[in-house]
Every structure is written in structure tokens, then in C-alpha cells.
A and B are shown apart, each in its own frame.
Chain A
């Protein structure tokens, strides 16, 4: 599915009409179409019909549920891509938009994912009253909010770092803005974007239960899907069903990996900007198959032609990158005034909304809960670092191991915390443990892997000369860690720790409250605060909780992680 036009030797393949790959490719595409049709049929149902056929724990239903869930994920991914291409592009191209959109994105990223769901579900349900479609919208939106922000950030950063000489070449040869976007900017941004899509997908899975088994105040909808299946299994204390759910998830994630992400990664590899012939480029049998079949060639040709047609059709607005000169001060002034007014208005609305149903003591309560969660996050990150940094270095220095560990960690990152509820809750009850402490590990369950990912990546970039020098000078033990390993991975570790920290805050909403059947456990913390408010449908406290949590995340990022990251970057970057 590369969009550049096929090499001139297309005709060669066309003479052999039926090859093995052609048949497989055709089957794959047809299968995908049937799957789309099957899975989207349920969307037209009414809510009453949905309630008439509740989710059941019969494992034979799981393929159908899995299909529905993965389709939802796919839809959310498409929406996220659309958002990425528009929002990030706007921010990168317009200086005025940038000053507003980028901080906004920063804040959106820190808002807990389930917070979005709690406050928007009623709106989405009202879009298609009485239909399943509305609830589907809400679920897709929730997944979207777990996927979109980091993708948009990555795309924005790529657009801002497009190599100057290529930008000049495209201007010199008179490429229109539209053509430049598809020929230069999107390809350049593709490799990091694909990586972020994979991370986003894991994020989506982690919250799959919460986004499908929607329960906000009086609104309860259970959409058929793996998430709802897990929720029901936990409610009914059915360990066998939990096992089936894990198996189904594993298979779906594997299929996603093989059919969607592997090909994407392999395909995106030729957009890498580094010109050196890389070490063993990633392979994907699906991509190879598509490339070798006439169907793939046909699709590729059509896409290429459509793109070139659009270059002619889209009017040539002269795009000289970021227009700075013509900007008049008056428009600037008007724009900033408008932005400030809207911000002030929004602040006033939020303030009145919260203060209408919230007292000072509520605020104190929320902030105190936030402090508890903060302590938990920091301790967990420290513990996870102590475990995963050595493991990550060990793996990263062994290229063979890294290839095996990567997909395993990817799967574990997608593993929803809910699936561990049975074990954790039973253990806490049986051993009479303190839930304030022993529920905490659930928070970092999905996010600790980012530390591992990044440390592995960092350790594998350590130049072999440096390692050899270490061996040659017989640098060993703690000295080796202090002078060679830790500095080399420091910038990478920071990236991982920042992601893990943000993710843990997000996860606190599902992790500080756990249940198994009718045993409910709760740890004190801001996540539990929001979860409780959501269950009660108390919108004032939901919003208050969200605001406080965003505040915490932003302040911690600005005051702690970012300076630390910049320090590591400056001091330890191998260039």
C-alpha cells in the first residue's frame, strides 16, 4: 500500500494472473469486507433490542464480541488519524493557532481518559436516541481520547522538524501546499507516527472495559464486546470466562499486530530519513503478499493515481511554509484578545459549575486524594525503575533478546488491569492486606512497560566501541553502571518514565477501585474519587476531580519531568 507510483516494471506481474499470493490477498480483502459488514450490522439495533440480548459468558460468543471490539478500535484509530492530520497540521502551520493548540493538547493529554467518557456519554447518546449507535459513538470517543493526543503530538513535532533542505527543494520545484503535505510532510512524519499508533492501541485496550461497559450515574449501557465480557465475568466471579477473555484478547492483539501494525511498520520503514542502509529492515508477510499480488498493485496504482489527480485538482495556493512577514499586528491582537476572552469565559463557566455543587472541603478532599495518588505514582515509578532498568539494559545489549521481548511487552502494555482483579482482590481479602498499598500495583500494570521499552531501545543504541572500551579498561560492577550504562540510557529512560507517570495517573481511575463479584475494594486516592463520582453520576465532583487531576499532571510534568528530561538530553545524548 505504498502510495508512490509503482516502479516501471509493473507489467511484469500482470502477465501471471493467478499466483498463490494473489489468492491469499483476495481472500484477505474479501474476508475483511465480510467482517466489516457483519460487525457493523449490530450498530443499527435499538437499545431495547440490545437489552433483550444481554452479553453472555458463553465463549462461543467471543469471536463476535472480539470483532465488535476490534472494529471499534479501528474506527477510533481512523478518527484519531483524521484528528492528527488536521489539528497537528493546523498547529504546525499557523503561528497563531500554535500558541493556543499546543498547550491545549498538553492539557487534553493530562485529562483522565475516563473523565471524557463520564461527561460526554449523555451527549453522544442523545445523537441517536434509543439506538445502539449513540452508545457506540460514546465508546469510540472514549477510545479515541486514549489514542489521539500522543499521535497528534508526534505529528506536530515531525512537521516542525522537516529537514530544511527538503523543504527548500520542494519550494524550489514549486510543489503546492497539498502536494508538499503528501510528498514531504506525511512521509517524513510516518515512522514516529506509526510507533505512536501502536502505543495508542495498547492504551485503548487498557481501557476497553471502561469504554464498553458504560456506567455513568443512571446511564448504563453494555455494548457487546470483549470489555463488557470481562466486566460481566468479574461481576459473576467466573474465572473460566476471564481465561477465555484473555485468550480472545491475545488472539485479537496478535491479529492486529500481524495484519495491521507489522505491515505498517515495514511499510513506514522506507520513510526513515536516515540515509544509511539500515540494519535488517522490518519484514511483514502481509505487506510482502500485498506487494506481490495484482490486487495490491491495483490498490497501490489506484491510490497513487488518486493522489496525483488530487495534486492537479487541488488549487495551487502558494505555500511558503510558515507565513510570518505578512502577519499584521492587528490580526494578532484581535486573535489573542478573542482567545483570552474565550478562555476567561470558559474559566468562569467551569468555576461557577464546580462551585454550584462543591464546597471548599470537597476541594480540599480532592487535593488531598491527589497527593495520596501522587505519592503512589512516584513510589511505583521508582520501584518499576529499579526492576526494569537492569532488565532493560540486559535485554538491550542482546539484540536477539530485544526482538523477542518487544512484542511480549507490547501485549502486556495492552493488558487491562481489570483482568487481574480476581487475583488481587482475592489475595487482599484472604491475607487481610491493606488495599491502600496492595491495590497500587494495578496502577502501573500497563504503564511500567514504557520504562522497559525505552530502556531496551536506549541500551541497544549504545555504540559497541563504548562497550569495548569498558571491557578493555575492565570497568565492572557499579562503576560500569554509573559511567557507561546509566548515562547512555538516561534520555531514553526519562521518556519512558514520563509516559509511565502520565499513564499511571490515568490508570488510577480503574486501579484504585477493584471488585470481584460483590467484594469491592477501594484505596484512597484521586482515581477512586473520580470513579466514585462517576458511579454516582455526580457531575460536579467528576469535573472537580478531572480538573484537580489535570492540574497535578501538568504541574508534575512542568516542574519535575521536563527539567529532568532536558538535563538528561543535554548531558547524556550520544550524538
Chain B
């Protein structure tokens, strides 16, 4: 059977400001078959949303081919519709008008537009809200409009870009269940779905097949089939097993430059690695949680995640930062505190700062570098731009800004250096 969508060897690069290119997606191969929900699972920066934009024709690939029903995708293709994370509703159009928009663009006759829109609104459970404006609706209702607007054009493939991540837990669950009910009853006019998510349980709950992405650059590192029948239950042992399996895949597989080198046992990561912006409060919070009962220094990541109600995107950066600072080790879906990590959890505030400072300057090359530059200069000050320029050789300007912000926060907490945002200058002096 011919696949709905056939992607071979797709690459995507972004130009860097100083010249050169930054690889975001590398050698992506995937196929979507009729009747399938395909999940793309990965961290922020793994390029999965970018891939969705390539498929929808909103962006162009740098290499490889994307074929939809045997034809190359070169622009927004009829038959591929998207549901956006932030809903992307037009605030000045009513629910009905929002849904009608895509059909108007197709140039259909007015009565046909009206009939199909009302049918889609009916299907998605928005009856009675036709003349409401988006601002009058709750988040869940807004996303229903997003679904109706995508479904009304009768697409073959529905692209979903983290459609439930802006909703609260209960609302998201209702929407997922409603969607799955309609899907398994065959009521939806679609043949295949691609769901981008960073929520592991959501992927297991909804997808028939899950592709796990590594980050910078995004690559497919693992493929997991989910054969559990619908409706699936989170407490089903087979469900838990799949979740665990994905955690293991995501924590043991190399994902990205600094993770790749870390597999050789605590690597020297260069100053060119993107650092996540994780606040020191969260670092101490996770350390304390893992150190305390019932974990006593070693915890299962999925369990921690569900107790703390955190998703991959919240939890992983914290755990990875702890690993980078050598307060913890991650592997096989577990997090284990090092001796220093345990000491940190037990220490008082001053002692914590001392410990943090030692580890920050010892194991984070960028922090080391900032400190060394400040020490070497006679004035003991350095402009922010000096480091930004350096970082931008390795990463996008946004990533460079974020990385520097992360180091600034850690450096401030450790009292390793000071930073004046007004003057955009690093220094060694804190106001007396």
C-alpha cells in the first residue's frame, strides 16, 4: 500500500549570523500509513516541530524529499491540516467564522461552507458556541475550535503540534479521550495523524508508533510500536512498561553533543554546548526530593515525573543539569545522587553555595571561561557581547542568549561572578 506520507533523508539547517549553518534536523526517514497515529517524541530543540512545519509546507527542507501521496510537498498542500499548540484562532472571528476560514480559502460556495462548518462544529462538540468569540472560551473549548477548523477541510493527514500542552491536566485528558473516541469510531474525515509531543504518557496513550528524537541536531534514535488496544489505561502494567522503556531509551541513548560525549563517563563538555535555563531552586528541589524518603538517593524518573506532575521537558533539563554538575547520574531511566549531591541536600545555605560554586567552576566550562576572563582582565569586568559572540559560533543567537542567561543565574547563586543587566557587563564585584 502506498504510504500517505513518505519522508526520506530530510535535513534542515538554519543560517548562523556569523556565516555558516546550524544543523537542526538530520537524515530524517519516516513513513505514515493509512489509519495510523504516529507520535514524534523528543525534547525542546529536537526539531520535531520544525519537521511538522516542513511537512505542512510552511518551511522548506534543505535536503531530502517529502512526498505526500506520491507528490513532493512544496508549499501548504491541500489535504494536510494543522492543529497549533497555541490554538492560533483569530480573535476577531467567531467560532463559526474561524472554522469557515479554511473553506473560504478553498473558494467553496457559501451554503456548502456553512453546512460543512456546522457539521464539524457539531462533531467536535461545540454546538451552541457558534457565535462566541475565542476570548469568551476556555482553553479546552478554544482547542476544540482548532480541531474543528482543521477537520472541516477534510484533510488526509492531521498534524498536531503539542495540541494539549497549553491545557490543564483534566482538560487535556478530556480532549484526548474525545479525539480518540471519534478516531476509533471512524467518525473523523482523516486518514492519518502525526502528533508532536514531549509528554511520554500522552504518546503512549494515543499513538500506534512512536519515534524518539535526539536533540541538536534532531535525529530519530528509536522507534517504538504501541499495540495496546484502545482505550488504554495508564495503570495497565503493559502501559507502564512502555513508558519505562521510553524513559530508558531517552536517558541512555545519546541525545545531542554534550550527552554524546558524556557516555564516556562525565566528559569535558566544551563551551559550545547549549545549556538549559534551569533555576537553582529547581536544582535544589530535585536534589532534596531524590535524597529524601522514599527514594533515599535513587529514583525512577517516570515515578518522579508522575509524583511531581512534571513532563519530560520540565524534568529532563533539571536532571541533566544535575548530572553535568556531578550532583547526580542518570541512566536506564533512573536518577542516582552522587556523594556531592547527597552532601548538597544535607547542607545549609552557605555550605550549599560553596559546594555549588566548586562544581560550577569545576565542571561547567562556560562558567570556568567567564571566571577566567574576569580574573585575567585588569578591570575584572567583561561585556556580555564578548561571550555572546563566542557562543554564536556554535549555536543560534536565541540559544546563545539562553545559555548565557543560565550561566548568569548559576554564577550569581554561586557568587562566582556578578552581572549588571543595565550595563550588560560581567564583573567580580557584588554591590557591597
Contacts and interface: CB of A to CB of B under 8 A. Distances in A.
Contacts of A271: 91-92
A280 to B, nearest CB: 14
Interface in A131-177: 163, 165-166, 168-176
A540 interface: no
A8 interface: yes
Contact of B76 (A4, A173, A312): A173
A7 B131 contact: yes
Nearest to B131: A7
Interface stretch (B98-106, B172-180, B227-235, B407-415): B98-106
A170 B105 CA distance: 9
Given A165-B88, A275-B135, A176 B105 contact: yes
Nearest to A187: B92
Contact of A183 (B84, B94, B101, B136): B101
A173 B100 CA distance: 11
A165 B104 contact: no
Contact of B135 (A163, A187, A276): A276
Contacts of A166: 88, 90
Contacts of B90: 166, 169, 183-184, 187
B135 A174 contact: no
A237 interface: no
Contacts, number: 86
Contacts of B131: 7-9
Interface in A257-303: 270-278
A318 B75 contact: yes
Contacts of B223: none
Interface in B206-226: none
Contacts of A184: 90
Given A4-B93, A8-B96, A166-B90, A320 B75 contact: yes
Given A4-B97, A8-B131, A312-B107, A173 B88 contact: no
Contact of A277 (B102, B135, B149): B135
A170 B101 CA distance: 9
A165 B86 contact: yes
A272 B90 CA distance: 10
A318 B105 CA distance: 12
Contacts of A276: 135
B48 to A, nearest CB: 16
B81 interface: yes
B92 A172 contact: no
A502 B365 CA distance: 51
A7 B121 CA distance: 14
A367 to B, nearest CB: 36
A275 B107 CA distance: 29
Nearest to B139: A275
A51 interface: no
Nearest to A190: B92
A271 B90 CA distance: 9
Nearest to B117: A8
Interface centre among B81, B91, B130, B422 (most CB of A within 10 A): B91
A174 B76 contact: yes
B82 interface: yes
Contacts of B56: 172
Given A171-B76, A277-B136, 19 more contacts: A4-B92, A7-B94, A7-B130, A8-B131, A9-B131, A163-B88, A165-B88, A166-B88, A168-B58, A168-B88, A169-B90, A170-B101, A172-B82, A173-B76, A173-B102, A174-B76, A273-B91, A312-B107, A320-B75
Q: Give the top 3 A-B pairs by smallest Cβ distance, nearest first.
A: A173-B102, A7-B131, A165-B88
25 contacts: A8-B114, A8-B131, A165-B84, A168-B82, A169-B82, A169-B84, A171-B58, A172-B81, A173-B76, A173-B153, A174-B76, A183-B90, A184-B90, A270-B91, A270-B92, A271-B91, A271-B92, A272-B91, A273-B91, A275-B91, A278-B135, A308-B104, A311-B105, A312-B107, A318-B75
